Structure 1
Amino acid sequence: MTHLIELTTPYLLLDPEKMQRNIMRLQAHMDELGVVLRPHVKTAKSIDVVRRLFPSGVGPITVSTLKEAEYFADFGFTDMTYAVGISPDKLPRVARLIHAGVRLRVLLDSVEQAQAVVAFAQRDGIRIPALIEIDCDGERAGLRESDEKIIAIARILQESHQFEGILMHAGGSYHCPDKAAKEAAAEHERATAVTVKQRLNTAGIDCPVVSVGSTPTAHFATDLTGVTEVRAGVYVFHDLVMAGIHVCELDDIAISVVATVIGHRPDKGWIMTDAGWMALSRDRGTAQQELDQGYGVVCAMDGTPYRDLIVTNTSQEHGVVALRKGSKAKLPKLAVGDKVRILPNHACATASQFDGYVVPKIDELVFWPRINGW
């Protein structure tokens, strides 16, 4: 029997019990609010994880790449939203999926994209369902709720029966540390969506899909009247960014990078590990939060965080572990060869550095592969 201590580091460790609690928590909240949850599989990118989201079904899901769409289609998933603005060069791959029986919605926010979708669909003899992206908080792509182009684009799509509805992502919620602010972000996201739907209806355009979502707003929404579905992704694992804005606790974070101590720099107060940015990623998502967690929080192998111990710097294959600036704690006595677990800033970014998850299962270890790429 292989033990964790025997595996070559760095590797990505997944706690299936924590993951399952995270899944059940959000699903219960969506059930309470009476709205369909369309999980974003860009975080996990693994059929073994996504099957835990749908123990008796196959979707609906959100994808961020066509490679994800093709991968999950191979496992029987046929209801997908590709939630990244469509470029014309990707339409042949979209068409292949549709011809294979996948209902794949695309996303756009310009007349040019809409015209490209309509023209391609007509040439190929298919229907490509499209959603218009709405920007509810100035954080990313999309059209503001009062933009007249929304109606113009919807008409172009409606005339050829391609229009499905609207989609938005409240990225600003990632900057909301307190409960009231996250609830307000969720309500603003919902209200913006409903306003746009009403504008479309007034113009004589049916808008069957009203899709909203982010992990913070999904957890803190109190009313989803008018919304047809919610999307969220990182909640499956959670991470330090989510903990930093109090969406979860450190103990809810289901993945960690296991690293080995490879040296010491007593003159600098450093412990060196073999997990650099190639393992942890360059993501510094907590840098602007109340508590900067460096490149990750360092824990013992049982998951207990060492007091004030973080990864303060990285190079490609080296991680510098040190006490947080100003800390009164003492460095733990970690010898060369000892193992530690590092909680990630951004689960999506860190997971993308690996080709799969090491998962403890009763008295054995199993490996759940994942995909990367586009």
Structure 2
Amino acid sequence: MLKDLFTPCLILDRGKLDNNIRKIKSIVSKRKIDFRPHLKTAKCLEITKLLVKEFGQRAMVSTIEELEQLKSSGINDFLYSVAIVPNKLSRIAKNLSNDCKITVSVDNISTAQELVAFYKNTGHRITAVIELDLDGHRSGVRPYANEQLIKISKCLDEFDLFRGVMSHAGESYGLSNEKDINSCAKNEADQTLIAAETIEKAGINCELVTIGSTPTALSGCKNIGITELRAGVFIFFDLVQSGVGVCELNEIALSVLTTVISINREIDAIIVDSGWMALSRDRGTSSQEIDYGYGQVCNENGELIDDLIVTNVQQEHGIIQVREGSDAKLPNLKPGDLLRILPNHACATAAAHSCYHVVNNADDSIKIWNRFNGW
């Protein structure tokens, strides 16, 4: 029973989780393309095993901790998403085996040379993809930087360490309609294929041409020529993804269970025991059409309470009020009552907790699935 749980705590709706996995499974099956789930959102062995069952033995990680914690799940092909630096290679190499290959990403010739030197000195074969920067927002090589692309790929390919190219359509999270998302997805695929073609014209094979973000993976883009799609937050969804337009509020599988600790009549607010330590300070919906403050409030059963949002957070206090300009009324609650809060950004909110309380509406059971943090 939810009333027996110590709050704040993380609630995962198993039925919605399963539906969200089936949603993207249907898409990639129709496109006949490989899919590599990103494990950074879940950081959980039980969820990883579900993904392996549906999508096979490939996965993406953003920390070495994820690789170490989840290599027992059946994955034998890891792609490390953050541009690698040499001082992490030894720790990564400890996880290599005949049954597990690991590919890292590079975006400069110096790191590529360091990776080659590491292989020559140790015999540990860590392969690499070139990370592409499609929109100038973070690390990566521009897809039209032909000289750089060829130089890096040749350096790696000479020692059979080169696998291909990787991109991420980060700009998709700032969109909000199907037309723009489809256009972004097409641009993601087109630019990535341009980079791959440049490398292949130089006589180097691009085994892996991998693209992805949850919005573009769920788009209608056909991705002809791309070998692999990736996505991560699709398993839970969140308020930002709802604002982008790739999910409905009732598809969000993750919420924070919280207890009412006080009613402040002076400011017409409900005070709960979930502050930024439990919800995060993420304000990802602030630039979207609908701003949910620090989270959308639901009743104990996860049913939306219209226009009731978390308007402010302190370390261990959440301030819940009716959205400014709304005619809705503050619900009649008392200290001890339970509420649930949908997160702006599922990754950030989940990172505040050590486990998922997995609820199954089919049999009213609650299971504990541990999660981890760290790098």
TM-score normalised over the length of structure 2:
0.97
Question: What residue number does 1:11 align with?
Answer: 9
Deviations 1:255-308 (A, max 9, x none): 100000001211111110000000001111111111111000000112211111
2:52–2:75: 8 Å Cα contact kept in structure 1? Answer: no
Quick one: which amino acid aligns to residue 217 of structure 2? Answer: A
Deviations 1:307-355 (A, max 9, x none): 1100011011000001111111111111110000000000011011101
Provide the secondary structure at the position in 2 that maps to 1:188.
helix
Answering whether residue 147 of structure 2 is matched by residue 145 of structure 1, we say: no
Question: What residue number does 2:247 align with?
Answer: 248
Answering whether residue 177 of structure 2 is matched by residue 187 of structure 1, we say: no
Displacement of 1:74: 2.7
Displacement of 1:56: 6.6
Q: For residues 346 and 176 of structure 2, what CA distance do their matches in structure 1 show?
A: 18
1:140–1:171: 8 Å Cα contact kept in structure 2? Answer: no
1:58–1:78: 8 Å Cα contact kept in structure 2? Answer: no
Question: What residue number does 2:275 align with?
Answer: 276
Question: What residue number does 1:87 align with?
Answer: 85
Provide the secondary structure at the position in 2 that maps to 1:283.
coil
Question: What residue number does 1:222 align with?
Answer: 221
Question: What residue number does 2:358 align with?
Answer: 359
2:35–2:55: 8 Å Cα contact kept in structure 1? Answer: no
Answering whether residue 328 of structure 2 is matched by residue 329 of structure 1, we say: yes
1:82–1:107: 8 Å Cα contact kept in structure 2? Answer: yes
Q: For residues 99 and 252 of structure 1, what CA distance do their matches in structure 2 show?
A: 38
- Of all paired residues, the percent bearing the same amino acid is 43
Displacement of 1:75: 3.0
The total of aligned residue pairs comes to 372
Q: Superposed, which structure 2 residues align to 1:44-193 within 5 Å?
A: 44-55=42-53, 59-99=57-97, 101-147=99-145, 148-193=147-192
1:139–1:170: 8 Å Cα contact kept in structure 2? Answer: no
1:312–1:321: 8 Å Cα contact kept in structure 2? Answer: yes
1:18–1:254: 8 Å Cα contact kept in structure 2? Answer: yes
Answering whether residue 373 of structure 2 is matched by residue 372 of structure 1, we say: yes
Provide the secondary structure at the position in 2 that maps to 1:220.
coil
1:33–1:222: 8 Å Cα contact kept in structure 2? Answer: no
Quick one: which amino acid aligns to residue 252 of structure 1? Answer: E
Question: What residue number does 1:200 align with?
Answer: 199
Q: Superposed, which structure 2 residues align to 1:337-348 within 5 Å?
A: 337-348=336-347
Provide the secondary structure at the position in 1 that maps to 2:96.
helix
Unaligned runs of 5+ in 2: none
Quick one: which amino acid aligns to residue 368 of structure 2? Answer: F
Change (3 A) 1:15 1:48: same
Deviations 1:204-226 (A, max 9, x none): 11111100000000000421111
Deviations 1:130-153 (A, max 9, x none): 000001122221111111211111
Displacement of 1:190: 0.5
Unaligned runs of 5+ in 1: none
The structure 1 segments of at least 4 consecutive aligned residues displaced by more than 4 Å after TM superposition are none
2:49–2:74: 8 Å Cα contact kept in structure 1? Answer: no
Q: For residues 209 and 359 of structure 1, what CA distance do their matches in structure 2 show?
A: 35
1:45–1:371: 8 Å Cα contact kept in structure 2? Answer: yes
